Amino acid sequence: MLIRNVDVLYGKELDYVPDTNIRISGEFFRGIGKNLKPKPKEDTYDCEGLLIIPGFINAHTHVGDSIGKDIAIDRAVEEKIHPIKGIKQKILKKSSPTHLTSFIRNTCLSMIKKGITTFIDFREGGIGGIELLQKAILGLPIRTIILGRINYYQDLNAIKQNSSLPHSKKRDLSNLLKKCDGIGVSGPNEFSDSVLKYYSKLKKMRAIHAAETITSNEISKKATGKTETQRALLLKPNFIVHMTHASKKDLMLASSIKTSIVVCPRANASLAEGIPNLNLMLKVGCNLTIGTDNVMINSPDLFREMDYLWKVSMGLEKKRVSPRTILKMATVNASTMVQDKKIGMIQPLHLADCIFLNKHAIDLEPMFNPYASIVHRASETAISAVMIGGKIVHGKI
């Protein structure tokens, strides 16, 4: 396939390349350049007026609670989503697998229409929870990185005694990892140092929530004398989610060992827990990505997420942030975070996951700054088509 006369945000820096051609073969981008010519019998599409950008990567979701949209909207965070006693858990236990599957699938369809081509999900419920998600996405083209979780948590007494992971749970974990891409740990306040260090030896992807609330930070310090972030890093995670209340020292520590951070600004705000300090995170050199978090409390829309983060960060800190920086968080930075995945950018040998935006869309024209236009003017109405793995899966070109 040859895409002709199209504008592109290319490579790791999302460089704007106007009026060029892109070759796609199989699932991958194969070449880009004005001099590319059609091959015999090659499908060719004239895409003048369109801008191709990398498909969005929703770096943190909990799609399992799609059935509980806006329930208990006025409750505190622990009441809503605590991994053991939260309202979310009660809803999931009372819901039939058929209903859960249906609403998870609807969420995935919604993400595709909004240009999200990959999502990374923290999947509760053990192997059963993983299989439920896999059933929900069966036949859908969206890419999914599933980080599972065994049904095991420790209380503060076990944490203070530094209790080890029971052998039966080690077996459960081994079986679970055969079904998913890694582990998504609820948080350091549910596990001892011993368990976190055990998890750190796992060969698959590791991630954990930390420093989402002031209260959770205080609990960690009182119980262990360490911040949540310090204890979370015992996991040697590929990434930490939230860090809304991480100190500069904590952020510098994460940056120094190249642990990425996923911020979820709209979810944090809707829980009345604050906004991540984007400027400080950037200043200390963190690799930042962005996620929409629980569907129960937030819509899976990265256009809205980017717009909110960009404006609220500048409004609170009174410092300018480049919209290109925000757009990279939803695309190329996530490619760095998951390391060997060829996603998140448009360049040869990367997966052909991309969004075709209509530059003449009523909210975008005239487009003087493509990065600003995407971050704070675009929405799913500006999408002409979404491509995943070299195939158009939504819209048309």
Which domains, from first to last, does the chain contain?
2-54+344-395 (2.30.40.10), 56-338 (3.20.20.140)
Average pLDDT over residues 305-314: 98
pLDDT digits (tens, 9 = 90+) for 91-122: 777 788 899 999 999 999 999 999 999 999 99
Distance CA 200, CA 233 (A): 9
Shortest CA distance to 299 belongs to which of 327, 267, 263, 261?
267
Looking at residue 80, its pLDDT comes to 66
Q: Give the H/E segment covering residue 394.
A: strand 391-395
Looking at residue 157, its pLDDT comes to 95
Q: How far is CA 118 from CA 27, 59, 144, 388, in A?
A: 14, 8, 6, 9
Query: Letter for the amino acid at 341?
Result: K
Is residue 77 scored above 80 in pLDDT?
no
pLDDT digits (tens, 9 = 90+) for 171-188: 999 999 999 999 999 999
Using DSSP, state whether 116 is helix, strand or coil.
strand
**What token pair was written down for 355?**
């969004």
- Give me the percent of the chain exceeding a pLDDT of 70: 99
Which of the four pLDDT bands, split at 50, 70 and 90, describes residue 81? Answer: confident
Query: Letter for the amino acid at 248?
Result: K
DSSP state of 235: G
Looking at residue 64, its pLDDT comes to 93
Using DSSP, state whether 340 is helix, strand or coil.
coil
Looking at residue 230, its pLDDT comes to 98
Looking at residue 74, its pLDDT comes to 79
Using DSSP, state whether 106 is helix, strand or coil.
helix
Using DSSP, state whether 145 is helix, strand or coil.
strand
Query: Letter for the amino acid at 319?
Result: K
Average pLDDT over residues 287-311: 97
Average pLDDT over residues 157-164: 96
Looking at residue 71, its pLDDT comes to 85
Shortest CA distance to 353 belongs to which of 328, 393, 389, 392?
389
- Compute the mean pLDDT over every residue in the chain, rounded to the nearest whole number: 95
Looking at residue 90, its pLDDT comes to 74
- Give me the percent of the chain exceeding a pLDDT of 90: 91
**The whole model's pTM is what?**
0.96
Q: Give the H/E segment covering residue 118.
A: strand 116-122
Least confident piece of the model among 85-89, 196-200, 231-235 = 85-89
Contacts of residue 128, defined as CB under 8 A and 6 or more positions apart, other chains included, come to: none
